[in-house]
Structure 1
Amino acid sequence: MDRLVTQNISKGFGGKSVIEDISVTLRAGELVCLLGVSGVGKTTLFNIISGIMKPDSGAVLLNGEDITGKAGEISYMQQKDLLMPYRTILDNVCLPLLIRGERKARAREEAGQYFEQFGLAGTQKLYPHELSGGMRQRAALLRTYLFSHEVALLDEPFSALDAITKASIHRWFLDVMQTIHLSTLFITHDIDEAIVLSDRIYILNGSPGKITAEIAVASPKPRREEFLVSQEFMDYKRRILELLKS
């Protein structure tokens, strides 16, 4: 079943086309990456999908319904975790529930049920500055999930993490996403990250940015450390590098 579809999305600024004729599909339970170099229009596309920005042409469909230009339909996690420093982790995480009108006690109870599953047990009363970068990203991901249990847009959420922390959170992320069945569209310019996480990868290339290829990553998930040194992984990486160069 298709959860999210973009149909021939195009957008320009100041008379210059930024993205052109972008059509992507996200199926139920999938994690699909948009992979491309910086400045190719990935974030512009996410701003359109999330309803922050309207396209010049094209449409965004969620479960078959046209949501083009409608904000608040899809959860959107940007590069920075954007946790509020004066709120506890629990109160940061339950913000989507409060915005929907739930009482604070009920929102805290509901959000608190997921803390162990997201590896956040014991952090409820802590503040963002008391957590590591990886733990802050876990909290931000939980908040994103509580905003929408169907579809999430993640814009390079792990780009600020060091290599060791990133590898660890990749393993955790694949495990938890498999459990909660969240359909996820993920932006990255990190080829290794795209191969490790994705069911499918769309290559966004050129100026204006266009989808130039779609790659299905057949290796079963979650993918463990040995996958990173396998011939299969290197074959995917070589193919993607060739596509990006072209």
Structure 2
Amino acid sequence: MNTLEKLYDCASRYLEKDRDWSSFSVEFGRIFDCEFALYRTSDEDAVAVTAHDSVLATSNPDCMQDFFENRFYQMRPMQEGDLTPLEPHRRTEYFSDEQVRELGPFYTFMQKHGVFYLMIAPALMPDGSVLSLTVWRSEDEPNFDDVEKQRLALFMRYLLALVRDSELKMVNHESRLSDFGERYGLTSAEIEVLGALLAGHSLRDIATKSGRSYGTVRWHVRNILSKCHVNSQKNLLHEFYALIEN
């Protein structure tokens, strides 16, 4: 059984029925040969957030407690381009080793918890929050390579499909879509695309499943953003949730 198959098996055994995040945490870290955390943040977290409220699973609770208490998760807000593809990002793609050593308190935090090479796979959730699967290794260990990056991307997709309906509290909003679409003058095709975005699908996934071209789906999204007077998919989802919660 290869590494990716082991990861899939680990998730299925511990999360499909019993939601045993503790056992999952132990085995995931062992298989991927790293420390890791699966956590969720949102704009509201700028007011008050704790590791207990935000972390679903981790191999290092002390590290995550420190991470949230010091609000290091706010250092680099995720951009729209980071979220749509569901592709992992390595720290070295944003900061060189030399730049990291100049990060002051954050580098002190990294040294304390053995965090140096890290990789994060973010996903934009229907309520506008961001679910992040982050893996890390110490400075003495090897950086994550392209194969590991691909494995993390595939595993994140599998994890979302496995637990999205329960542990991540993602609900079916079909009954609200028609009212939202009527309010903003959306076409039936635009409502369908919006529904897929709310379900957490990427634009390419929507194109494949709907039989449309990627360009057509992007065109629909641009029209939706224009009609709803927002400038990003994240703000669009915030607008939808703000309306249905009123």
The TM-score, its normalising length taken from structure 2, stands at 0.28
In terms of Rg, which structure is larger? 2
The TM-score, its normalising length taken from structure 1, stands at 0.28
Greater share of residues in helix: 2
- Taking CA–CA contacts closer than 8 Å with sequence separation of 6 or more, which of the two structures ends up with the larger relative contact order? 1
Greater share of residues in strand: 1
